Structure formats: C-alpha cells, structure tokens
C-alpha cells in the first residue's frame, strides 16, 4: 500500500500536489513519510529473505545459492548453459557520445556494467537487461538454484573478452502510475460536448503509453554500488536522489513466486479441488432449465474457492447462452482471465442472437489493455459493450439473465464480491448469491440501465449503490446500532472486508463503540481505525485472516435489535468505494443464506492460527492455540466442511 502511495503521489497532477491531507500535510511531505516507511519495510523484507527464508530453504535442501559459492565443476556446467541458452538473446547497450542512455522499463532487472579496456581512454558504461523469457532461478544439479543475474555477471568475460577489468552491479527502476485517467481532465465542469463520444478508450490508451514512459519514483541498486555510479544513473533517469534505495540481497522478490519446488509436496499445501455445490450436483448439463429450476427453489450461497466456479458461475452463464428461453444476458467485467471461458460464452450468446450487454471496465488498473481487447471482441460478436461511467470506476460484480417463462419474464441474478475471473476464483476467497428474487432482480436491472444509459435511476430497490445511497445507508445502519445500545436493545456490528479507511465511517464506528456497541471486524489489509483504545474504541476488535487463499469476500452484519441484517457485495469501507466508484451491496433476504453467513463469520472469528489481532498501538500479533487447544484454521475448516456436504 505504501509502495502504491509513492507511485501515485509522485505521478499526480500539479493541482493534486497542492492539496492538503486530512492531517494537514502537503503531498511532498506525505511522499517523504512514504519514502521513510517504504525504506523501513524494504529493510524488514530483505532481512527476512536473507536471514530467514534462504536458511530455511537450505535446511530443506532447496538452496538459493550465490555463484561464488559453487564448485568449479558446477560453474562449468552453468557456463555451458549460459553460452547456449542465455548469451544469444542478450543485447548489451553502451552509453557514450553515440549511444544515449537507454530506456529502462519499470520493474525490469538490469546489470550496470563498467568495462575497462586498454584501447579506451575511459571506462565504458554498458546496460545489460536480465531477460524475462529465461528462468530467474537457474538449476544447479543436486545443489539448488542460482539467480540468473549472478550467472550473467560471472560470464561477462564471454561478452567482453578483451577487457582488463569489469565491474558489475544490479539495479531496477519503478515508474509512477496515475490512479485514474480522468486526472488528465481535472476540470469536472467541462461541457459534455467537449469530450469525444467514446473518448474514454482513447484516454485510457493514452495513459497506457504515458505509464510506460512515466517518471522514475524509485531507483533500487544492489548493495555496494559506488556512489558516483548510482548518482550518475539517477541523473540519467532524471530521478530524485532521495529515491535511491540500496538493497541488501536479492532484487525483484516477486520472482520468488516462480520458484520451482517440484517434487517437494511436503513443503506445499495439499492439492485443493473445489467441490460442486450440493444443490448443483444433480444438474443436467444438457438441460439448461434444470439450472434455473434449482435457483427457483431458493437462493444459493456460493463460497469460492471451496465451491467450484466452473460448475456454478460458468455453468450459470453457459446455461443462459444455450437456453432458447433466455432473451438477455448482462454482465460486468472488471478483471477476467487471459483465456476466459466467460468471454467465450458471452461471445457465443451474442452470436446466437441474444441481447448481450457487457460493462467492461477499462480503467481497472493494470488490466486496461486486455479489457479493451475483450470489449472489441465482444462488439464484433454483436454484444453491446459499455466501457465505463464518466469519472467513476465500475467495480460492481453483477450478472443478470432475463428468461421467458409462461406468461412472464423472470430475472435471475448473480450478486458477487469477486470478479468474473476463473483464475483468481481458485486463489481468492469470495462470496456470491444466485437468486431470482423479484426485488433484487429489479434493482440489478436498474443498475445495468444506469451503466448503459449513463443516467442514474430513481430507485434501486433494496440494493445499496455507490456513489448514490451506499454511504448514507451504511451510516444509518451503524447509527441504528448506536441508538439500540443507548436504549438497552441488542446491538452489534460484525463485518469482513478488504480495507477500512473511510474517515466518516470510522468516526461512526467510534461513536458506536463509545455507546457500548460490540464491534468485531475482519479486515484483511489496510485498516486506519484504532482498535481497543480506552475512551475511543473500547469495544472494537479488529483481526486479519492471512492464509492459503486471499480473503476477498465482504460481509456486513448488523444486530438490528435482535433481527440481524446481512449484506454482501463489492465495496469495502473506503472513500473510493463509497464516493468514486460504482459499487453494489445487496441485502441478504433468504433465511438459509443468512444462517450460512452467520456460520462463516463465526468460523473466521474462531481461527486460532492464521488470524492476526490488531492492538491499540497499531501492531498485529498472530493468534496461537493454547497448549491444550487444537489448531483451528478457518480456511482448512471451509475446505473440510465443503467436502463433507
């Protein structure tokens, strides 16, 4: 989060750079604090990798080795690998009077090489990019792995054979990124006619180009790089010297995610195979009506990745595509997979003559280019594609199927907390409800009408929709708990979300706590609320669940005087979700689904090994079971319960 703040703050337009933060800081002052905190965090991370992770891997016989520690026989084998499979694709780029300093792409790994030769009056600087189409971790037989950059450094004499001396250091840059393409048009009072119809695609495409060449906000260099060299590189990149960070050990730690651990099942989670939802196990795939008939029996709560995504959501959409009684199919796409069966299904539905409407959010950060491509593909198939709402990101997760049945049209809807992404559905925890409730169906229809017509609806039925009524409704719900506590009625707030940042809602939670409302919040990530503080938040407890799967679902529960209200949806309690995005939160109307959500919240709260509790001074502590207590992991419990049904 701090890393993202640096990228966005440094890339902000001049108007934003004059605004003060809620605590009165100028953006440049915020940036200084971010730099300081980011340096501290990166130091902690480097220390963990160098002094805990690498020794732990070595103890298991999987070592990240330094090239200098290898035997000569091992080095010779790696030299052969380098000459055959690495050297042919390398492109050394010199910097001299005839060769300008090359463009350095964001997050790329680079060798800063200084070559000394007898026929040169002065050392020659050469930049050599570490190729991304070669494995970062090069296998050393029966020993471990060596980072590719170290193998390249050890073989520089092959590239520069007549050198008298070669010096080499590693560096990478991080470039800024605007959070919103509308930053290019800060004047909200422009007449609509000043924007070209459909100009959002051009705006986003322009931002993608600008992002690639954006200014450098961080220059990371390997430990020991001489000051004159790192300051020279900094000047060539037109970066600020304060943004130079010397890193101990490995750079680009995200590549650890590609570490090869084949053959060591004992060091991995056991394979997880999602189960088919019990109510969908007897579904006849050849009869589309059987799926819709099951929804008519009552709402279905889906909990991914424990419930299989393919046999629930993908099948829901495929049933709609194949069913001749289905007249319309509408969906929102925020992020989706690279070979998406959902896009294929929508494409086939459009080609079959169904009314297909798809909101493709092309301002979803770092998914802009693929989303534009998906939109173009759908348009060619005959679908109606909407690329976003003016000045708002569309973050809603909704699907709508309109089906002709007897003398009526019935709406079937999917209300979800997660993206329509078959890849992340195996890794992210999310919730969704399949229902044909008429009130919810009408509300979802109104949301889709707003997305396609660009005109707000007068009424969204029971749905809470940002930026229209979501903030106000949440404030009313919290205040209702405050009033109930003051009047001696049952009160309480339990919620699960990704982030908690909105100042107004935090203030309301403080007020509720001071009135005696018990508040228990499962906040996976950023939390700006101070919990357990005497006189401020004495009844608020916050914890975070960090396990095998990324916790992404949102659940909100309000005691409501003994008649609990449940909600799920796409929005966190953040200012951007409440004010700057199209979001939906749906009330849960089905009694059985309410009971299931009650059990889900209770399982998270009982976790004693992957939950981290937030204390009044802002630090987190991992829960540990008592000596005589068995371990209880929420995610493992969900896996077990799903398999037992």
Would you please indicate which residues are annotated as catalytic (active-site) residues? 395
**Could you please report the per-residue DSSP string of 394-437?**
E---EEEEEEEETTEEEEEEEEESS-S-TTGGGTEEEEEEEE--
Handedness of CA 229, 107, 245, 17 (dihedral sign): positive
- Say if CB 545 and CB 610 are below 8 A apart: yes
- Say if CB 413 and CB 600 are below 8 A apart: no
The CA distance from 263 to 94, in Å, is 42
The CA distance from 506 to 574, in Å, is 10
Residues linked to residue 409 through DSSP beta bridges, in sequence order: 404
Count, in order, helices (H) and strands (E) of the chain: 18, 27
The CA distance from 413 to 589, in Å, is 14
Distance of CA 385 to the CA centre of its chain: 24
Q: What stretches of 301-431 show up as alpha helix (H) in DSSP?
A: 315-322, 341-351, 368-381
- Say if CB 567 and CB 445 are below 8 A apart: no
The CA distance from 213 to 209, in Å, is 7
- Say if CB 295 and CB 289 are below 8 A apart: no
Using DSSP, state whether 179 is helix, strand or coil: coil
The CA distance from 216 to 103, in Å, is 11
Handedness of CA 300, 306, 310, 314 (dihedral sign): positive
Using DSSP, state whether 525 is helix, strand or coil: coil
Instruction: Give CA separation, 207 vs 31, 218, 368, 374, 477, in Å.
Output: 22, 20, 10, 18, 39
**Burial tier of 628 (Cβ tally within 10 Å: 0-12, 13-18, 19+):** exposed
Handedness of CA 158, 160, 166, 171 (dihedral sign): negative
**Could you please report the per-residue DSSP string of 555-568?**
EEEE-GGGS-EEEE
Strands (E), 204-315: 216-222, 244-247, 300-304
- Say if CB 152 and CB 131 are below 8 A apart: no
Q: CA 309, 310, 315: angle at the middle one, nearest 5?
A: 110
- Say if CB 463 and CB 400 are below 8 A apart: no
Nearest residue to 468 (alpha-carbon basis) of 566, 330, 358, 577: 577
Half-sphere exposure of 441 (CA within 13 A, CB side): 18
The CA distance from 139 to 439, in Å, is 59
């Amino acid at each position: 989060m701090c890393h993202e703040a640096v990228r966005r703050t440094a890339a902000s337009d001049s108007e934003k750079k004059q605004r003060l933060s809620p605590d009165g800081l100028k953006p440049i002052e915020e940036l200084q604090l971010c730099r300081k905190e980011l340096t501290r965090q990166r130091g902690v991370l480097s220390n963990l990798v160098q002094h805990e992770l690498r020794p732990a891997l070595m103890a298991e016989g999987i070592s990240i080795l330094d090239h200098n520690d290898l035997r000569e026989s091992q080095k010779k084998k790696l030299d052969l690998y380098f000459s055959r499979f690495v050297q042919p694709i390398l492109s050394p780029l010199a910097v001299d009077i005839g060769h300008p300093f090359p463009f350095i792409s964001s997050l790329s790994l680079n060798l800063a090489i200084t070559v000394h030769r007898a026929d040169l009056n002065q050392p020659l600087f050469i930049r050599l990019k570490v190729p991304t189409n070669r494995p970062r971790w090069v296998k050393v037989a029966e020993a471990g792995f060596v980072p590719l950059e170290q193998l390249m450094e050890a073989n520089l004499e092959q590239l520069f054979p007549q050198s008298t001396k070669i010096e080499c250091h590693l560096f990478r840059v991080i470039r800024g990124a605007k959070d919103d393409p509308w930053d290019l048009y800060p004047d909200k009072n422009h007449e609509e006619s000043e924007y070209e119809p459909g100009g959002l695609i051009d705006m986003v495409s322009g931002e993608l180009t600008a992002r690639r060449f954006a200014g450098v906000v961080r220059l990371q260099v390997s430990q020991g790089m001489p000051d004159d060299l790192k300051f020279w590189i900094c000047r060539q990149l037109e970066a600020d010297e304060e943004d130079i960070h010397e890193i101990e050990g490995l750079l680009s730690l995200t590549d650890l995610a590609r570490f090869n651990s084949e053959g060591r099942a004992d060091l991995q989670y056991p394979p997880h195979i999602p189960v088919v939802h019990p109510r969908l196990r007897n579904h006849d795939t050849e009869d589309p009506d059987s799926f819709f008939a099951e929804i008519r029996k009552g709402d279905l709560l889906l909990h991914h990745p424990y419930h299989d995504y393919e046999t629930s959501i993908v099948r829901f959409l495929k049933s709609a595509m194949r069913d001749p009684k289905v007249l319309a199919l509408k969906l929102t796409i925020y992020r989706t997979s690279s070979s998406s069966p959902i896009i294929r299904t929508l494409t086939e539905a459009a080609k079959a003559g169904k009314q297909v409407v798809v909101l493709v959010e092309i301002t979803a950060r770092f998914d802009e280019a693929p989303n534009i491509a998906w939109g173009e593909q759908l348009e060619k198939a005959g679908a109606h594609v909407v690329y976003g709402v003016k000045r708002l990101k569309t973050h809603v997760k909704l699907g709508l199927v309109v089906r002709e049945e007897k003398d009526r049209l019935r709406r079937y809807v999917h209300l979800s907390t997660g993206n329509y992404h078959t890849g992340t559905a195996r890794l992210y925890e999310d919730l969704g409800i399949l229902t044909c409730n008429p009130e919810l169906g009408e509300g979802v229809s109104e949301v889709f009408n707003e997305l396609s017509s660009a005109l707000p609806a007068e009424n969204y039925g029971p749905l809470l929709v940002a930026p229209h009524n979501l903030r106000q409704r949440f404030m009313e719900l919290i205040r209702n708990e405050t009033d109930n506590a003051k009047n001696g009625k049952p009160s309480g707030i339990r919620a699960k979300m990704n982030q908690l940042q909105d100042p107004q809602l935090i203030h309301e939670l403080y007020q509720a706590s001071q009135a005696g409302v018990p508040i228990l919040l499962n906040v996976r990530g950023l939390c700006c609320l101070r919990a357990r503080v005497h006189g401020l938040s004495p009844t608020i407890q916050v914890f975070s669940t960090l396990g095998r799967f990324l916790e992404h679902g949102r659940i909100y529960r309000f005691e409501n005087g003994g008649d609990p209200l449940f909600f799920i949806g796409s929005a966190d309690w953040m200012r951007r979700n409440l004010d700057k995005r199209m979001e939906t939160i749906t009330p849960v109307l089905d009694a059985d689904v309410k009971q299931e959500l009650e059990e889900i919240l209770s399982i998270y709260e009982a976790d004693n090994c992957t939950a981290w509790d937030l204390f009044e001074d802002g630090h987190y502590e991992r829960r540990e079971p008592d000596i005589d207590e068995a371990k209880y992991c929420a995610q493992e419990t969900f896996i077990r319960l799903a398999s037992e049904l």
